[in-house]
């Protein structure tokens, strides 16, 4: 336990006036950490805030929250808690983790805390590294988790990383530290529990200090990560611009940097939730980059997709495309935020302006999204061209095509694709016309 105290006092250098938010489940690990900080508080004037999240999946959880609250009141620790009322359809553990850390960061901001501390210990590190190796991850992911992370406006610290679970339990027993026991931690239903029950004991028989070897492994990977990231920063603004990968620039990189830059981008998008990204997703991104198709996409975890549009690949939230058909009156505001409106005069003759002769079309006009088999009668070729091919020729990104406005008359003939192409029915400024539409 001395190495934990030395780490906090000599390496982290906790000082008078520091404010520390502690993530606490009420289990043996987090209660041990709070007790350690209470010991330090006897020498250094620090403020401790206990942050508890009730995951609301076990009937005992409300009693555990009351237990922690009472413990905090009796030991001059500020207590803050929240209940997760509802989960989405996402992976439970990933979603719970995101909610939990969002709550922790909110408290850090509210209290202007210097540190957020969690009770991850050495056994947790071993399990995390092994699980990520088995599943496939990034270099950062393979390192498990760091004992110190600079988050900018605060520092995330994991002081118990030097200890095993057995050492924590023994400390609690010796010092009379109460804690709650979560029975689900023994269930073989969860992957981590299987590693904990079946693989970790074997490793500890080989070396009782195996957690220290894994910590060294983790720190070595962190050093490698820092070096590679320096190289990435030299090229990232050229390869990844405006939240999009520029394929031509990416292909100029050495293979090791190509691979790492994809991980780098994914890590920045998914932050600490690296369990969501594995080798499969990176390989899919590589295939997307190298496909001969000008437009394509793949799905990524948590409602995101990677969309290739010619030389660019962007990572975006998946949006539900809703088809629409709206009668054109004085002005129509489109779902994209743009407008199509009737105007009296217009000097421009570009594709954002459409001039028509009312007697040549079936009135009224409508604006709608494209449909299968759509084609438009053009002047120059004196024939029809598929709207799909017009989009391709105009290099309209795949993600925009389904919601792009198309103006039709009452008989269904396509009159104009705003901003892109005019039909045989449109007039020049020198022609006779009595309708002017403007796309803005």
Q: What is the pLDDT of residue 297?
A: 83
Q: What is the pLDDT of residue 301?
A: 80
One domain, residues 106 and 131: yes
Q: Are residues 193 and 290 in the same domain?
A: no
Cβ atoms of 356 and 413 within 8 Å: the answer is no
Domain boundary among 288, 317, 346: 317
CATH number of the domain bearing residue 52: 3.40.50.620
Helix (H, G, I), strand (E, B) or coil at 416: strand
Query: How many structural domains comprise the chain?
Result: 3
Residue 231 lies in a domain: no
Query: Domain for residue 225, yes or no?
Result: no
Of 317, 344, 371, which one is at a domain's C-terminal end? 317
Q: Are residues 275 and 341 in the same domain?
A: no
Considering the domain architecture, whether residues 206 and 259 belong to the same structural domain is answered as: no
The size of the chain, in residues, is 440
Residues 311 and 336 in one domain: no
Phi first, then psi, for residue 331 (nearest 5°) are -155, 140
Tell me, what's the pLDDT at 56?
84
Please state, as a whole number, how many other Cβ atoms lie within 10 Å of the Cβ of residue 233: 10
- Per-residue pLDDT, 331: 87
Parts of the chain with a pLDDT under 50:
none
Mean pLDDT score of the chain: 90
Cα gap 236→374, rounded to integer Å = 41
180 with 198, same domain?
yes
Is residue 57 included in any domain, yes or no? Answer: yes
Is residue 357 one of the residues assigned to a domain?
Answer: yes
Identify whether 28 is part of a domain. yes
What's the domain range around 294? 242-317
Would residue 235 count as lying in a domain?
Answer: no
CATH of the domain at 286: 3.30.465.60
Same domain, 124 and 199: yes
CATH (domain of 390): 3.50.40.10
Positive or negative, the CA dihedral 228, 232, 233, 235 is positive
Using alpha carbons only, how large is the chain's radius of gyration in Å?
Answer: 30
On whether both 58 and 160 belong to a single domain, the answer is yes
Is 224 inside a domain boundary? no
The helix or strand, by DSSP H or E, that contains position 52, with its residue range, turns out to be strand 47-54
- Whether residues 347 and 310 fall in one domain: no
Q: Which of 317, 339, 371 is the last residue of a domain?
A: 317
190 and 79, same domain (yes or no): yes
Q: Do 313 and 330 share a domain, yes or no?
A: no
Query: Coil, strand or helix: which one is 313?
Result: strand
Q: 274 lies in a domain? A: yes
Confirm if 302 and 317 have CB atoms less than 8 A apart: no
371 and 293, same structural domain? Answer: no
Cβ atoms 225, 143 nearer than 8 A: yes
């Amino acid at each position: 336990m001395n190495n934990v105290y030395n780490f906090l006092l000599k390496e982290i250098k906790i000082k008078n006036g520091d404010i520390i938010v502690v993530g606490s489940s009420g289990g043996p690990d987090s209660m041990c950490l709070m007790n350690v900080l209470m010991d330090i508080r006897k020498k250094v004037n620090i403020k401790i805030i206990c942050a508890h999240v009730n995951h609301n999946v076990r009937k005992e959880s409300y009693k555990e929250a009351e237990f922690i609250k009472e413990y905090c009141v009796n030991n001059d620790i500020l207590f803050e808690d929240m209940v997760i009322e509802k989960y989405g359809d996402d992976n439970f553990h990933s979603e719970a983790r995101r909610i939990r850390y969002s709550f922790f960061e909110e408290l850090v901001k509210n209290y202007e805390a210097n540190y957020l501390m969690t009770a991850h210990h050495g056994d947790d590190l071993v399990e995390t590294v092994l699980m990520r190796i088995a599943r496939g991850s990034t270099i950062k992911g393979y390192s498990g988790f760091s004992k110190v992370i600079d988050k900018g406006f605060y520092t995330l610290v994991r002081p118990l990383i030097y200890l095993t679970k057995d050492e924590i339990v023994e400390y609690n027993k010796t010092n009379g530290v109460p804690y709650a026991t979560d029975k689900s931690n023994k269930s073989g239903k969860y992957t981590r529990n299987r590693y904990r029950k079946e693989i970790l004991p074997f490793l500890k028989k080989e070396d009782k200090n195996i957690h220290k070897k894994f910590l060294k492994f983790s720190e070595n990977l962190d050093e490698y990560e820092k070096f590679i990231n320096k190289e990435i920063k030299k090229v990232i603004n050229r390869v990844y611009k405006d939240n999009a990968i520029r394929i031509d620039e990416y292909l100029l990189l050495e293979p090791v940097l190509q691979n790492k830059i994809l991980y780098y981008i994914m890590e920045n998008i998914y932050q600490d939730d690296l369990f969501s990204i594995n080798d499969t997703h990176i390989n899919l991104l590589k295939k997307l980059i190298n496909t001969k198709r000008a437009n394509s996409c793949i799905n990524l975890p948590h409602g995101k997709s990677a969309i290739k549009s010619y030389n660019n690949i962007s990572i975006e939230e998946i949006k539900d495309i809703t088809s629409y058909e709206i009668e054109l009156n004085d002005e129509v505001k489109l779902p994209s935020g743009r407008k199509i409106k009737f105007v009296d005069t217009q000097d421009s003759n570009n594709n954002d302006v459409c001039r028509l002769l009312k007697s040549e079309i079936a009135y009224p006009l409508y604006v709608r999204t494209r449909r299968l088999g759509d084609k438009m009668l053009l002047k120059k070729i004196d024939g029809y061209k598929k709207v799909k091919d017009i989009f391709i020729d105009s290099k309209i990104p795949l993600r925009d095509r389904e919601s792009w406005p198309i103006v039709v008359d009452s008989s269904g003939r396509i009159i104009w694709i705003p901003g892109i192409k005019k039909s045989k029915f449109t007039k020049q400024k020198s022609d006779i016309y009595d309708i002017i539409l403007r796309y803005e």
